[in-house]
Every structure is written in structure tokens, then in C-alpha cells.
Amino acid sequence: MKCKQCSSCCKEVRFPVPETPISIEYFKARGIKFENSWVSIPHECKQLKDNKCMIHKTKPFVCLKFPFNMKGDVESILLPEGCAYR
Ligand code: SF4
Ligand code: SF4
């Protein structure tokens, strides 16, 4: 697999949330994507210009590693729609 450099991962914020009936209802009611205990909210990074990272050489480690986690796998991360690693 190879990154398509589509920059979709720079256009949303993802974080894990415990999957409970209340959290499912909360995010569903607000039209927020909630999948496998991960929430995804549309939000474009301010460092993204013309689909390119303006701080590429000094970008955060989490961006450098994406979509791989600290263990080097992609199993536990909610990937954006269309991501080559989905
Ligand atoms: S810092 Fe760069 S790589 Fe990280 S989310 Fe922003 S634009 Fe994307
Ligand atoms: S969403 Fe996936 S394919 Fe697109 S830039 Fe990010 S890691 Fe690469």
C-alpha cells in the first residue's frame, strides 16, 4: 500500500470514545461519524495549503507516522474515507 497523498487525513480530527448507548446516541444525533469507538469530525488543519503541508519538515510526529500507530499497525485507527490504507 502507498499513500495517495490525498490529504484527507489533514481534514478531520479523530479521537477514540468509549462506545456506550449514550455516546452512540450523542454523536448520531449530531451527524458525527462514530465508527469502532472512534469519532471523526471535519476540521481542516491550518497548516494545509493547496492540499500540501506547509510545515512538512517539522510536522508533528503523529502526522509523520500516520496512518500507523506506535506499534506500526493501522488496526486501531479510524482512517478517512478513501484512504489508501482502509
Ligand atoms: S501538520 Fe501537516 S501533515 Fe499534520 S495535519 Fe496539518 S497539514 Fe496535515
Ligand atoms: S488519507 Fe490516507 S492516503 Fe490520504 S494522505 Fe492520508 S494516509 Fe495518505
| Ligand 2 neighbour 8 (Cβ under 6 A) | yes
53 alpha carbon, distance to own chain's centre: 15
| Ligand 2 neighbour 4 (Cβ under 6 A) | yes
State pTM to two decimals: 0.85
How far apart (Å, rounded) are the C-alpha atoms in residues 21 and 54?
Answer: 40
pLDDT confidence bin for 49, thresholds 50/70/90: very high
pLDDT in tens, 55-68: 999 999 989 988 88
Residues with CB under 6 A from ligand 1: 10, 45, 47-48, 53, 55, 59-60, 63
% of the chain beyond a pLDDT of 70? 99
How far apart (Å, rounded) are the C-alpha atoms in residues 17 and 84?
Answer: 24
Residue 74 dihedral angles phi and psi, to the nearest 5°: -110, 5
Q: Whose CA is nearest to atom 2 of ligand 2?
A: 83
